[in-house]
Structure 1
Amino acid sequence: MLTVGDTFPSFDLTAVKPGTPQAPSEAFAQVTDKSYPGQWLVVFFWPKDFTFVCPTEIAEFGRLSEDFADRDAQVLGVSTDNEFVHHAWKRDHEDLRALPFPMVSDIKRDLAMQLGILDREEGVALRATFIVDPEGVIQHVAVNGLNVGRNVKETLRVLDALQTDELCPCNWEKGEEVLKVA
């Protein structure tokens, strides 16, 4: 699995555009590793659309989207489902209808395989979260098994700590003192 200090892989994938669902002819766009220059990326993967744990995480990333944007971070949600399934799920699930970030399709599993996050049994992405700095270097990785949802507020807290470029103690929160080395 790629980890902290590794370069996030290049990608060029189809995504469902942010916002309310549109007609399929207008709903899709290409998203690449170069689509958000100068920004941090928060790339999170979920196993499958039309499941139970996944929408709770996706909706929470949506609710905190402005907080990520305030930190110059673009959220990208990814699974191995195709863009048409993403589009149907977005239209079907009330909590996903107006998502403010792209739902990216890694249908060929190329990105998930490069990152090393495919579940060996199911062949779908694990619940992995990557925080990538503006230079394309992975600064944080968290991976959960298929049945356990992640803590999106913790992802935001880690992003805050990374952006301080300081020593941040356990449970540090934005606005608190950082550690000073004498």
Structure 2
Amino acid sequence: SSSVASASSPGSECSSTSGSGPWCCTCAATEIAAFGKLDKEFKARDAQILGVSIDSEFVHHAWRSAKDELRNLPFPMLSDIKRELSQALGILDPAAGVAQRAAYIVDPEGVIRFVYVTDLNVGRSPDEVLRVLDALQTDELCPCNWKQGDETLKAA
């Protein structure tokens, strides 16, 4: 079982407290629509996307109302308005008061297995997050640029 989360603005996270939850991935604003388009792919891997941002639920509603590509997102958007999660993850820029763009994959036991943090002016690739999720779910050694269906490495 897995979860994936996508953030609706810089700073995101997903967690499993039960130890048997889904995988989780996170990301930021410009990636929301792209993660939405891949939602079925993530669900096929027993992963749940969650959108998380430092904005309020009212801002999230306004985005979804104003932008056609966000109107029918197939996953929830969560608010980190107090910035507690962003600060705990070390991605909060205290000077700017915003979180860096970040994506995380959290395994069913609640362990962060993948972290992808970029500067505010650089977006992330939902396809890359999906590729890494595939690699993590093999529980095998995957080489650089490995894709689902490719051979894995054998430890010597």
Structure 1 gap segments, 5+ residues each: 1-30, 47-53
Consecutive aligned runs of 4 or more in structure 1 exceeding 6 Å deviation: none
Instruction: Report the Cα distance in structure 2 between the residues aligned to 1:118 and 1:75, rounded to whole angstroms.
Output: 21
Q: CA deviation at 1:71?
A: 0.7
Instruction: Report the Cα distance in structure 1 between the residues aligned to 2:34 and 2:47, rounded to whole angstroms.
Output: 15
Q: Determine helix, strand or coil for the equivalent of 1:131.
A: strand
Give a deviation string over 1:146-174, Cα, whole Å, max 9, x none. 11110110000000000000010010000
Q: Does 1:123 align with 2:97?
A: yes
Instruction: Report the Cα distance in structure 2 between the residues aligned to 1:143 and 1:87, rounded to whole angstroms.
Output: 25
Paired position in structure 2 for 1:12: none
Structure 2 gap segments, 5+ residues each: 1-13
Instruction: Report the Cα distance in structure 2 between the residues aligned to 1:110 and 1:160, rounded to whole angstroms.
Output: 30
Equivalent residue for 1:153, pick from 127, 130, 133:
127
Matched ranges for 1:1-182 at <5 A: 33-34=16-17, 38-44=21-27, 46=28, 54-55=29-30, 57-182=31-156
Give a deviation string over 1:51-105, Cα, whole Å, max 9, x none. xxx33x1110000011111111111111111001101110110110000111111
Aligned length: 144
Instruction: Report the Cα distance in structure 1 between the residues aligned to 2:118 and 2:77, rounded to whole angstroms.
Output: 19
Q: Determine helix, strand or coil for the equivalent of 1:174.
A: coil
Instruction: Report the Cα distance in structure 2 between the residues aligned to 1:164 and 1:72, rounded to whole angstroms.
Output: 13
Give a deviation string over 1:28-64, Cα, whole Å, max 9, x none. xxx97559952111122x3xxxxxxx33x11100000
Bigger Cα Rg? 1
TM-score, with structure 1 as normaliser: 0.74
**Identity within the alignment, %:** 61
